[in-house]
Amino acid sequence: MIGAFPTQVFSQENKSEGTEKKFDPKETILEHIADKHEWRLFGKSYIPLPVILYTDKGIETFSSGNLQPAGTIYKGKYYNYILVNNKIKAVDDAGKIDAAANKKVWDFSITQNVACMWMTGALLLIVFLSMSSTYKKRVGKAPKGLQSFLEPLILFIRDDVALPNIGVKYERYMPLLLTIFFFILINNLFGMIPFFPGGYNLTGNIAVTAVLAVIILIVVNLNAKKGYWKHIFMPNPWWLFPIMIPVEIVSIFSKPIALMIRLFANITAGHIIVLSLVSLIFIFNSLWISPVSVVFVVFIDTIELLVAFLQAYIFTMLSSLFIGMAIEEHHDHQEVI
């Protein structure tokens, strides 16, 4: 299945171009891991998603189906639009990209990533709200069903991530850590499914990881105790001030940036490897290479399954570590960046 799905997509692209254009793996792969304005199901089929544009003249909404097939110009209320590399660009009447107008158009569309995020968000809500009601119904009883499957994960976050890194005040941060963990985990896993409900690259999108990292940055610095700021602005001994203060200020930001890049790079890399292995079939233009591709893809997918969990765990673990270091009362040692 993993092997079969991209075949359809690639062949579709080749056909839509009309001519036997040489296969460009880089372009195809980047196109696949990027965000899109329609929700790809499988093959040629897709669900059009709403386009929401904030322009200087007002908000404009229309279906992304109006921009298909590629190259179609849609005449909106205020500007004309076209899809270029899955990005909406304003064009003038002649069909040329209007750079001045583009600066005034902000794209707040419900893209594939947003739609998938809502789907997994809804899934998380359904799963955990029903689980929470089960806890109310079965007070003091042994876990059952979903409970017994997810409770170990929750306890793992509590006992092995939050408690050792944050300390006794861990309870305050548990909702944040659990939400981050399950949000990353479910999107990592859905991203690995090569067709309809998955096939997107949310946690491998820099915007998403940036938002998560900024949340951690804010939480860490808003909750930081005196020791944390003292460590930054009053290093020991005093003559290190000129060096240490800039370094420490950079470290405030470098920690969340590391979080952001780590998750983004790991998940994107996984997608790129799988797509590259499938692309081998098209690069060699031979069906005989497909068993090799499939074997390697299965192998990498297995590793990615581990990585999906591992990255969710690492993000949560480092977040709690940073929180723990910031809220520590006595703090006079070198920190981990």
Partner 1 sequence: MDLVTPEVGLIFWTALSFFILLFILGKFAWKPILAAVNEREQSIETALSRAEAVKEEMSRLTSENEALLKQARAERDAILSEATKVKNQIISEAKESAHKEGARQIELARIEINNQKAIAMADVKNQVATLSLDIAEKVLRKQFEDQKKQDELVKELLKEVKLS
Q: Which residues bind partner 1 (CB under 8 A)?
A: 30, 33-35, 52, 85, 87, 106-111, 113-114, 117-118, 121, 124-125, 128-129, 131-132, 135-136, 139-140, 151, 154-155, 158, 171, 174-176, 178-179, 183, 205-208, 210-212, 215, 264, 268
Closest contact distance (angstroms) between CB of 3 and partner 1 is 24
CB-nearer residue toward partner 1: 99 or 139: 139
Q: How does DSSP assign 290-321, residue by residue?
A: HHHHHHHHHHHHHHHHHHHHHHHHHHHHHHHH
Closest contact distance (angstroms) between CB of 272 and partner 1 is 10
The amino acid that residue 179 corresponds to is T
Closest contact distance (angstroms) between CB of 122 and partner 1 is 9
CB-nearer residue toward partner 1: 265 or 305: 265
DSSP 285: T
Closest contact distance (angstroms) between CB of 68 and partner 1 is 19
CB-nearer residue toward partner 1: 273 or 294: 273
Question: How far apart, in whole angstroms, are the C-alpha atoms of residue 120 and residue 190?
Answer: 8
List strands edge to edge, sheet with 58-63: 58-63, 50-55, 106-107
CB-nearer residue toward partner 1: 208 or 281: 208
Distances, alpha carbon 251 to alpha carbons 58, 121, 209, 240, in Å: 41, 32, 18, 16
CB-nearer residue toward partner 1: 111 or 293: 111
Closest contact distance (angstroms) between CB of 248 and partner 1 is 26
Best CA proximity match to 330, nearest among 173, 221, 225: 225
Element (H or E) spanning 208, and its range? helix 206-223
